[in-house]
Structure 1
């Protein structure tokens, strides 16, 4: 066997020991306090990494190891699904490289590697770590974006309920901070539902809104135009002075829309 084959065999046969060594070293370098389950998870991850590294060196693959990419993707998705931060992943790579450098130095002495062989080994490890880090970050961001979109969708649905209060009359309470996603959700999803429920009057209550800009205000007041075309009368309540001023300064015509201070007053004035 060549010297590099012996090193590759070492990585595969001693993956458990090397994984523990790296995890312990990283914990010490960063002065981390982590639960035992997380430590064991990290050990398992590096054990698998050692296996990929050994096979890569043994077979002189040279290309991108698909198994490593799949492993890294799983790591990234696991971090995103657990609610972790991307910085928690990135910050551990520099001390991990230091640990691998120490291992390479030790193995170079044991197997009497030449300088060129030692440099190649370290370069190959760093290349695999870079591949792993990139795929981990991409997977983390992809799943995080999916989770954020799903959460945003759920929040939009929960924050814009249509509440029937009597026959032909419903209230649309607008709560919290209004952004373009929520405004679009109301226009695309809530309005059709209102039409299906045979509502004659919709009371759009703005009293719970605490943040809105001109673009969003225009978006929201488009609701009245759409509902009017559907034969539904829109009544606005809880319109704060600042929001009313934003609408007027933006050229939004409020004169055609009935407004009241409270939902109670609006209901009392519906024929």
Structure 2
């Protein structure tokens, strides 16, 4: 069952028309969250990111779009799919309603909520091989729109096809200055001795929720220095660890880039603290 504007439909129901602006122009935003036993991990952060993004895209925020309303709609969808006691992946998509060409005739929005089950209620470290490569065909723009979680993800799609065709698990994306920005499905952190770096938002990376939470965690730790600085491709092979963050996997270590092999010691240490932060909310 999917939730479209508060009403539940079977997955086989045609609920979108050819005029859907998310389809025609990518005029949509989405949040992907993890839900466990009625608790949506970092829900306030996701909600306020969504509201801020809607304002930036000049979407009209409905009066009923409160934190509590959208949380209730998510939990209703989870329950109706029989997943209330199981770890669940939730995707909430908000799109501008039909009308106009590039210039929309209205700024009102609709939403759709999709859910599916996950294996574990909490974030786990993956130990199996995970290899990445630099994707150099196209670039991430260094602007605020790149920080938003919109459905304009054709670069990520093409990079995913490249990774699949060449036997990689993921790709590192770069901006026009040839700085490493993120990966296909999340933010990037680099560890060299006691320094942990992640690209700044000004380089064009996604303003990821787990990125934010991990920055908070690292800044509170003794023995590590957190830097939000540009990452050159040349730094990758000098690092001790590379890892990915996103709202579904939490922390995903990278184990190989070209001839360089990486450890996961820091990633493991941080994952326990991230799980604790998720349980607290």
Q: Does the alignment reach a TM-score above 0.5?
A: no
* Bigger RCO of structures 1 and 2 (CA < 8 A, at least 6 apart): 2
Q: Quick check: which one's strand share is greater?
A: 2
Bigger radius of gyration among the two: 1
